[in-house]
């Protein structure tokens, strides 16, 4: 039959009545063995480990981490399957104090340790004997005590052993690669962007079911990204407050849309610029975007072709990304992130149907415009994509 055994807070120091639970090493429902360290408690004077008085299942934790318990309080319940009657008094709870390790035994007879029932040295029934301060430090450093060979007295693990383990791990897992000039420039611009603008991202789905069904009929050979670029250009003409850049003395609005297209290159992210995109049709936008992207990847794009944009579009759909948080390309006030096309089953007109939709993420500078106007701009992009004839 099962027999519950109470694990109570013993009196660790004569004049201390309360202790704080620092950490439970076992979780509720976990199997424990006699002398396994269950938890660590701390009084005003010292830190102690409390061990399991018997093997069984830790059925209940009554005093959690950072909670205070008084001497005699029940900290937890262990359920044992032994048939013998179990009676555990306060004095039978095994307690180990965090104290300096005993001196090295150099005599002819084995050293006796009457102050703790935890064996000195390495492993004991799967538990590594170590003072609470060593156990805490190992946990903070992400080290497995069972993988560390102790060099202290009787094989105890020392702080120096932990430091050596960290050095070995660091030397085998980390190496420094100098930043390239391009990577350094990109990093500087991104930090500058976040430091000098109040960035906020809005997200929305654009229903492109009609475009999916009629894309080849409307304009054969046009990529999905071209349709998105065209929708952005049209929306910017309708909402010019996002076709703007910040300058030293205010906000500069542009009459023309110089559309930036983010290009992933071996050297890093570059933004190719389609100048006067608002004066170009679908085919011109697609041809120029492809040509500029090739030049950016080949390293032949001129500085003029990689600067001067008034709004940028970055597309991560080919990588399986949906919504994300694009960072503004300074000094622009808006950037649109485009994700992977998604299919969704919806209930329409008493029947189930499949719609196609694109996730859109708009980051804008709250210094330049507010959430309402930015949301209307995003809505316009979605409307143009939902009714693609407007983009022809």
pLDDT in tens, 74-105: 999 999 875 544 444 333 454 555 543 333 34
Q: Where in the chain is the domain with CATH 2.40.50.100?
A: 3-100+121-173
pLDDT number for residue 44:
67
| CA 252 and chain centroid, separation | 37
Helix (H, G, I), strand (E, B) or coil at 347: strand
Counting beta carbons within 10 angstroms of the beta carbon of residue 355, is it exposed (0 to 12), middle (13 to 18) or buried (19 or more)? middle
**Residues with catalytic function:** 366, 370
Beta strands in the chain (DSSP E): 3-8, 18-24, 31-32, 37-42, 47-51, 56-61, 68-70, 74-80, 94-97, 123-124, 127-128, 199-207, 244-247, 250-253, 259-265, 268-274, 311-315, 334-338, 342-348, 351-365
Which of 121-125, 198-202, 216-220 is predicted least confidently?
A: 121-125
DSSP code string of 138-165:
HHHHT--GGG----SGGG---HHHHHHH
Class (C level, CATH) for 3-100+121-173:
mainly beta
Check pLDDT > 80 for residue 200: yes
| CA 88 and chain centroid, separation | 45
pLDDT number for residue 115:
35
How many CA atoms does the CB half-sphere of 40 hold within 13 Å? Answer: 14
Q: Is the backbone peptide bond immediately before 30 cis, with ω within 30 degrees of 0? A: no
Between residues 16 and 207, which one has the greater pLDDT?
Answer: 207
8-state DSSP, 218? H
Q: Where in the chain is the domain with CATH 3.30.559.10?
A: 181-391
Q: Which residues pair with 151 in a beta bridge?
A: none
Check pLDDT > 50 for residue 137: yes
Give the whole-angstrom CA distance, residue 49 versus residue 38. Answer: 7
Q: How confident is the model at residue 111 (pLDDT cuts 50, 70, 90)?
A: very low
Say if CB 199 and CB 366 are below 8 A apart.
Answer: yes
Domain 181-391 has CATH 3.40.50.300: no
Say if CB 67 and CB 18 are below 8 A apart.
Answer: no
Give the whole-angstrom CA distance, residue 260 versus residue 329. Answer: 9
Check pLDDT > 50 for residue 15: yes
- pTM recorded for the entire structure: 0.58
Average pLDDT over residues 187-199: 91
pLDDT number for residue 107:
41
Question: What is the total residue count of the chain?
Answer: 392
Token pair 């093997």 is at which residue? 55
Helix axes 224-238, 371-386, angle to 10 degrees: 130
Check pLDDT > 70 for residue 311: yes
According to DSSP H, which parts of the chain are helical?
A: 132-141, 159-173, 181-195, 209-218, 224-238, 282-298, 371-386
Mean pLDDT of the chain: 84
Counting beta carbons within 10 angstroms of the beta carbon of residue 63, is it exposed (0 to 12), middle (13 to 18) or buried (19 or more)? buried
Rg (CA), the chain: 33
């Amino acid at each position: 039959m099962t027999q519950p055994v109470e694990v109570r807070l013993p009196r660790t120091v004569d004049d201390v009545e309360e202790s704080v639970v620092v950490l439970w090493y076992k979780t509720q429902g976990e199997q424990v063995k006699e002398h396994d360290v269950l938890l660590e408690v701390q009084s005003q004077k010292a830190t102690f480990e409390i061990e399991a008085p018997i093997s069984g299942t830790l059925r209940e934790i009554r005093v959690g981490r950072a909670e205070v318990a008084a001497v005699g309080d029940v900290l937890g319940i262990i359920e044992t399957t032994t048939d013998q009657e179990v009676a555990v008094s306060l004095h039978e709870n095994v307690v180990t104090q965090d104290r300096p390790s005993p001196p090295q035994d150099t005599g002819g007879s084995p050293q006796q340790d009457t102050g703790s029932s935890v064996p000195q040295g390495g492993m004991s029934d799967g538990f590594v004997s170590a003072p609470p301060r060593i156990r805490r430090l190992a946990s903070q450093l992400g080290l497995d005590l069972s993988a560390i060979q102790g060099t202290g007295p009787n094989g105890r693990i020392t702080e120096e052993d932990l430091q050596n383990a960290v050095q070995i791990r660091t030397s085998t897992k980390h190496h420094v690669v100098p930043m390239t000039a391009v990577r350094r420039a990109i990093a500087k611009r991104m930090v500058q962007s976040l430091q000098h603008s109040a960035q906020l991202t809005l997200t929305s789905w654009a229903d492109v079911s009609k475009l999916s069904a009629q894309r080849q009929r409307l304009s054969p050979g046009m990529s999905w990204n071209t349709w998105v670029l065209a929708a952005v250009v049209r929306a910017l003409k309708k909402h010019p407050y996002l076709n703007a850049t910040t300058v030293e003395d205010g906000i500069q609005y542009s009459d023309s849309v110089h559309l930036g297209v983010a290009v992933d290159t071996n050297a890093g992210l570059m933004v190719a610029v389609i100048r006067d995109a608002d004066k170009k049709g679908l085919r011109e936008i697609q041809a120029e975007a492809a040509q500029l992207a090739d030049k950016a990847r080949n390293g032949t794009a001129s500085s003029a072709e990689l600067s001067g944009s008034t709004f940028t579009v970055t597309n991560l759909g080919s990588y399986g990304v949906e919504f994300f948080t694009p960072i503004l390309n300074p000094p622009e006030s808006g950037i649109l992130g485009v994700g992977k096309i998604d299919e969704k089953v919806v209930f329409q007109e008493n029947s189930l149907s499949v719609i196609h939709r694109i996730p859109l993420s708009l980051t804008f500078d709250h210094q330049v415009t507010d959430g309402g106007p930015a949301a209307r701009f995003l809505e316009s992009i979605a409307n143009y994509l939902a009714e693609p004839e407007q983009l022809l």
